[in-house]
Amino acid sequence: MKKTLKSFIAVLLSVLMLFATCSVASASDVQTSENGISALSSAAAYTAQYKGGLVGFLNKIVNGICNAVFSVLGFILPGTSRVIDRKDYVSENFYGGTEEFLDAPAENARWNLGYGSESIIPDNFGERSYHMAGYDLNKNATEALDDLKVRAVAISDGTDRGITILANIDCIGIANSDVKRIRAALADYAQEKNIVSINISSSHTHSGIDSQGIWAEQPKTAFNNLFSALSFGLKDPINGVDEEFMQTIITRTESAVKEAVESMTTGSLTYAAKDGSTYIYDRSEPRVIMKDIVRFVFTPDDANIRPTMIANFGCHPEVVGYTSDKISADFVPYMEEVINAHGYNFLFIQSAIGNSTENRGNCVDGLDIDRHETVIRFGNEVAYFLLGMTETEEYCKENIVDWDRENSTIEALGDNASWYTAWYENWEPAEETEVAPLLNVRLQEFIVKVENGIYKGMGKLSLANNIMLRDGLDIYTVTEIGYMELGTDIMIMLSPGETYPELVCGGADMDEFTYAPLRETYADKTVLDFDLMNDAIGYIIPDNQYTYCTIMKKDNGKITFDNAWGMTSMGEHTASQLIGNFNSIVDSVK
């Protein structure tokens, strides 16, 4: 009986973990309109597919059952000693940003920016295995296809209001508690250098080393922590994150940030954006993506100092990891190798990522190449897109395409040049504008109620490193939301999870959401999103679209399963809490 019970609990916990970590992917063409909303953009079409008639009834039944089962799980699982009473929580290593907000650049203001990067692959990688993150539980790797890095910029507008750090780590996500450990390591240095904001994000690669503890040693960690909770601490709870790897991240990020600060120099900053929707698709309806690929370029006054390019678009780096047992940062390093070869430092920051992933079909050049090679081609070509964004079609053909043919790492390309994807055809250069030297940033720490029974159970068992608070029978997590202004026209949301793009640019059924899309609320500004910033709290789904799993009716009348993204979210009201807090920050500084 004991063996049967133990087996049942093992299966139950494993299923809970798999629901919380697995992705459901299905490729589809994406057709976007001007603001990034797909062809299926009407509320009527959305309702017909998900809410009307039989399909609406089935969704209510399925999600009612899911909610009941997961709520029971979240209720009955006990909490470990790492779950803090809400009244006892004390905030530490939180950076609020610039105290004073300016409406215009200060007199004689100049941008100051520096860059730093470090590998985050541990020194003993290859001698011992590390768990991969993103798909299978307990998947070990001892080889790497490419490097994993932390890249950082230090930026200020030349005033004495302080330096802001923007760093991105090649990992699937990093919890706010670990962000605060990085800040703690930098605390003395930050005070010395007047650093007022330290923001750490992840590239969200699904083939890196597990930085959240969700994919490693399960269900071992679950059983250990369940026993710890039931025995009132007789056995200490286990931290699912590999501490050796986390210490490597902390140390190397500290080094990259210091390198960035020490290399700061004066210069100019420009902004450009171009529709790159052919490279991105949304895996589920309504198909909404952040269609623009955005770049910022910092050009130093000293021509001998290397410029820095910052790229921002929403796209899951998840293609390598589906079948590979080798570590990879997916498309990010293959963007970087091209950008570096053309004379720039490089930083990638996710935009509102939602369900968006790579659309590789138009950049594999018709070649018979493996999954990893298609990722190389994707990363390379998006880099060409960034480099040629403000150039003419002729420039792209003569200076980028010819360079690619000569320098491509895909050997098959040279033998099949006739298959080359003419990505630059009918190319229209994007406008490049100078960004006035004005930097305002404000962050706010806030508490989110965990409504999803899966995440509630995971939080109570301390299976990930997110900060968890207890208040009676309720569980909460501590996270951060931020607001940044670059120049007088660009405003950026610093979001702690995987934000659904419609929260920024609008889309089907958004008229039922509590708040207007950000680009509607702040229509006089260019509104961007920096995602997975300072935390990793899962999908941030509009409240009215939230479901644990979704059944849809296709145009041909067939009823089919669409997605299970709600299982990897803190809960139904996370999005309204986040957007509400963001709007409050904006209001407080205006």
Kindly state the average pLDDT of the residues 39-46. Answer: 60
CA dist., res. 450 & res. 458, Å (int):
10
- Give the pLDDT score at 418: 67
pLDDT band for 187, please (50, 70, 90 cuts).
Answer: very high
- Give the pLDDT score at 583: 98
Structure confidence by residue, pLDDT tens digits, 452-467: 999 999 999 998 889 9
Q: What is the 3-state secondary structure (H, E, C) of 257-307?
A: HHHHHHCCEEEEEEEEEEECHHHEEECCCCCECCCEEEEEEEEECCCCCCC
Contact (CB, 8 A) for 367 and 411: no
- Give the pLDDT score at 370: 87
Q: Are strands 195-202 and 163-169 parallel, antiparallel or unpaired?
A: parallel
Is the model's pLDDT at 165 over the cut of 70? yes
- Give the pLDDT score at 341: 97
Contact (CB, 8 A) for 232 and 91: no
- Check residues 583 and 285 and name the one with the higher pLDDT: 583
CA dist., res. 164 & res. 173, Å (int):
21
Structure confidence by residue, pLDDT tens digits, 135-164: 888 888 889 999 999 999 999 999 999 999
Kindly state the average pLDDT of the residues 103-114. Answer: 96
Among the residue ranges 85-94, 317-326, 486-495, 520-529, the one predicted with the least confidence is 317-326
Is the model's pLDDT at 24 over the cut of 60? no
Measured in whole angstroms, how far is the alpha carbon of residue 447 from the centre of its chain? 20
- Give the pLDDT score at 417: 62
- Give the pLDDT score at 17: 42
- Give the pLDDT score at 552: 84
Average pLDDT over all residues of the chain: 89
Q: Length of the chain in residues, anyone?
A: 590
φ, ψ (nearest 5 deg) of residue 150: -115, 130
pLDDT band for 11, please (50, 70, 90 cuts).
Answer: very low
Q: What is the 3-state secondary structure (H, E, C) of 531-558?
A: CCECCCCEEECCHHHCCCCEEEECCCCC
Closest CA to 38 of 578, 509, 485: 509
As a whole-number percent, the residues of the chain with pLDDT over 90 amount to: 69
- Give the pLDDT score at 28: 32
- Give the pLDDT score at 322: 78
List Cα–Cα distances, 174 to 180, 228, 275, 341, 357, in angstroms. 10, 25, 29, 29, 20
Kindly state the average pLDDT of the residues 423-438. Answer: 95
Is the model's pLDDT at 9 over the cut of 60? no
Among the residue ranges 321-325, 343-347, 414-418, 570-574, the one predicted with the least confidence is 414-418
Among the residue ranges 15-24, 329-338, 354-363, the one predicted with the least confidence is 15-24
Nearby residues of 138 by Cβ (< 8 Å), 6 or more positions away: 131, 215, 216, 217, 218
CA dist., res. 312 & res. 315, Å (int):
10
As a whole-number percent, the residues of the chain with pLDDT over 70 amount to: 92
Amino acid identity for residue 394 in this structure: E
Nearby residues of 551 by Cβ (< 8 Å), 6 or more positions away: 50, 55, 58, 59, 62, 559, 560, 561, 562
Closest CA to 545 of 362, 288, 290: 288
What is the 8-class DSSP label of residue 149? E
- What kind and span of H or E run contains 72? helix 53-76
- Give the pLDDT score at 360: 79
Amino acid identity for residue 36 in this structure: G
- Give the pLDDT score at 54: 87
Structure confidence by residue, pLDDT tens digits, 208-265: 999 998 888 777 888 899 999 999 888 899 888 899 999 999 999 999 999 999 999 9
- Give the pLDDT score at 522: 97
What is the 8-class DSSP label of residue 322? G
Question: What string of DSSP letters covers 99-148?
Answer: SS--SSPPTT--EEEEEEEEE-S-TTBTTB-EEB-SSSTT-EE--BSS--
β-bridge partners, 347: 310
CA dist., res. 393 & res. 400, Å (int):
10
- Give the pLDDT score at 154: 98
Contact (CB, 8 A) for 549 and 561: yes
- Check residues 194 and 559 and name the one with the higher pLDDT: 194
- Check residues 4 and 533 and name the one with the higher pLDDT: 533
Closest CA to 219 of 388, 495, 488, 21: 21
